[in-house]
Chains A and B, each alone.
Chain A
Amino acid sequence: MKMLGRSYMVIIFICLYLPIAYLIFYSFNSGGTMTNFDGFTLEHYKSVFTDRRLIVILLNTVAVALISAGLATLIGIGGAIGLYNIRMKRLKQSLLSLNNVMIVSPDVIIGASLLILFTVLGISLGAFSVILAHIAFSVPIVVLMILPKLQDMNASYLDAARDLGANSFDVLWRVIIPHIKPGILAGFFMALTYSLDDFAVTFFVTGGGFSVLSVEIYAMARRGISLEINAISTLVFLVVLLIALGYYFITTRPSVKRGGIT
């Protein structure tokens, strides 16, 4: 059974990483595009390091992702707990529906309406408006990730905690948060994904020269995406992979039982 699981995992991982490998392969292409491999070169990597504009854009992208995912997660934690506490079924259901409006709305609609909203409110377009927009569309995914964890929480824990004299702050901090931790982390990571992937919303709400990678990439589409983008993606990918591997080796001591994503 274990063998079967392992081999299944390997197959899925190969599939997941095939397109990535393809991108990385072509980042070394001395030709101009992702189609014909002419020869090996490191030229695209060199130009990444000399292109200040691109480096700023990359840093912007990472910063927006971290800030918006973090804040969205905090808002989402409060939201999920609040939703869970609502007893009236109707109200709960309607709030949940509102929660999901952002998930089902196509990006153009979100982008256009946020643009209108921001200009009406007089928020100037730039880093701040982009972060605000990313928080806006990341909150619902966090809530959805945390809710099932709240639902499978055993009420007797809470009762026990209260019986032992814990105040509501302690219950939240010592019982609820630790229990829903896997949900919180999953929400945070999915929010990062949302933020890094988004193009349309960012396009509409950005301004003042502030740009992120996805907007640059889409704008390049008409003239063909430069392989510099492949190179920069490869670099980002390797950095994150290294962090993950580092984590792997640090935690090679027997991992703590239970607790989901630790």
Chain B
Amino acid sequence: MKSTVSMILAAVGIGALILFGTRFVNPVPNEEGNVLHVYNWGEYIDPDLLAKFEEETGIRVIYETFDSNEAMKVKVNQGGTNYDVVFPSEYMVEKMVVEDLLMPLDHEQIPNMKNIGDNFLDQPFDPGNTYSLPYFWGTVGVLYHPETTEGLDFSDWDTLWDDRLENDILMVDGAREVMGVGLNSMGHSLNETNEEVLQEAEEKLEALGPNVRGIVGDEIAAMMEVNEAKAAVVWSGMAQDIMWENEALDFTVPEGGSNLWFDTMVIPRTAQNVEGAHQFMNFLLDPENGAQNTEWVGYATPNEAAYQLLDKEIRQDERFYPDQEQQEELEVYRNLGPEMISLYNELFLRFKMALE
């Protein structure tokens, strides 16, 4: 009856063989070679561009993906593997700067920086773009089904509290976003630090409870595509993805303020191929490449030169490329410090616990 143990040993052996075999399917370059470790969100770059970059520069791109800013930061912070280009969201850039995890960019090496629209440079989370360059940007707004919500005007945050939306709103699972709905609807800043005001916002949100069908993450897309709810508070980029699949939906950014977010490109302090990282950023900011990437990803690009190359229909879509006046109402999240963020999360948790 030795067969049990030998069967298990065989499994280990087969596994080792397979692992060894992967070398031949997609040869790993030896570490001496010119490689670039890129760490990005999943499905967030046109793979053809990676191939093009490799061809043009001879640099081999090793591409890894993450699914949350915080988890990414743990990896960058703890080391063990060294990433050369990383794509954090703007609030994470600020945190990473505070924790001294990022390397200042050498703007000389990124001539294509001139392609970025002025509106998107020199933002408060990174003055002078010392550490980061914007990759995509967007807002937070309401995705809704115009047919079933007839008569409701989503250009006002307060509409979400309407009785007709009972049990029919989905919200993204983010403390800042959900608290933001409360704050914006009361005319406060998204970076409010007054505890009393925050408490009030949470109380107001609790009144929204009966309308909330669920607080969900990325799967909100799958749900809205089949009209699981009449309205959803989502990021604009996600709304764009969903509307691609479900044409019956519309998106609007309510007046009275909303969030302006960026996903950015940065170079961690631990980067090994700093020159390659700059080359890669410059490559992505090229007008042609930027336009190609924007078409593939579908989010709004801060790259003015690339923007001009997009279809007129896309360029004039004010839902995703709001005009100057609307943009001025938008606010970027600031890093409010750990205590304040804890408070936001605590209030958010209280709101969640109060659901049903």
Q: A: which residues have CB within 8 A of B?
A: 31-36, 52-53, 55-56, 59-60, 62-67, 69-71, 73-74, 77, 112, 115-116, 118-119, 124-127, 129, 173-174, 177-178, 181, 184-185, 188, 203-204, 206-209, 211, 215-216, 218-224, 226
Please name 20 further chain A to chain B contacts, defined as beta carbons within 8 Å, in addition to the given A74-B8, A125-B80, sorted by A numbering.
A31-B245, A33-B225, A64-B19, A65-B15, A66-B12, A67-B16, A70-B12, A77-B5, A119-B78, A173-B1, A177-B4, A185-B4, A203-B66, A203-B75, A209-B37, A211-B65, A216-B65, A219-B66, A219-B67, A222-B44
Q: B18, A63: Cβ atoms under 8 Å?
A: yes
The CA-CA distance from A203 to B74 in the complex, in Å, is 11
- Interchain residue pairs with CB less than 8 A apart (7): A33-B221, A33-B222, A56-B26, A119-B80, A178-B4, A211-B65, A223-B42
| Chain A residue contacts of B63, Cβ below 8 A | 53, 209
**Interface majority SS (helix, strand, loop, mixed), chain A:** helix
Q: B: which residues have CB within 8 A of A?
A: 1-2, 4-5, 8-9, 11-12, 14-16, 18-19, 21-22, 25-26, 28, 37, 41-44, 62-67, 71, 74-75, 78-81, 217-219, 221-222, 225-226, 238, 241, 244-246, 297
| Chain B residue contacts of A219, Cβ below 8 A | 41-43, 65-67
The CA-CA distance from A185 to B28 in the complex, in Å, is 35
The CA-CA distance from A52 to B51 in the complex, in Å, is 13
Q: Residue A174 contacts which of B1, B18, B222, B297 (CB distance < 8 angstroms)?
A: B1
| Chain B residue contacts of A116, Cβ below 8 A | 78
Q: A112, B74: Cβ atoms under 8 Å?
A: yes
* Smallest CB separation, A128 vs chain B (Å): 10
The 5 residue pairs across chains A and B that have the minimum distance between CB atoms = A207-B81, A219-B42, A66-B15, A219-B65, A70-B12
* Smallest CB separation, B155 vs chain A (Å): 27
The CA-CA distance from A53 to B19 in the complex, in Å, is 14
Q: Residue A115 contacts which of B19, B74, B218 (CB distance < 8 angstroms)?
A: B74
Q: A224, B26: Cβ atoms under 8 Å?
A: no
The CA-CA distance from A220 to B11 in the complex, in Å, is 30
The CA-CA distance from A139 to B65 in the complex, in Å, is 28
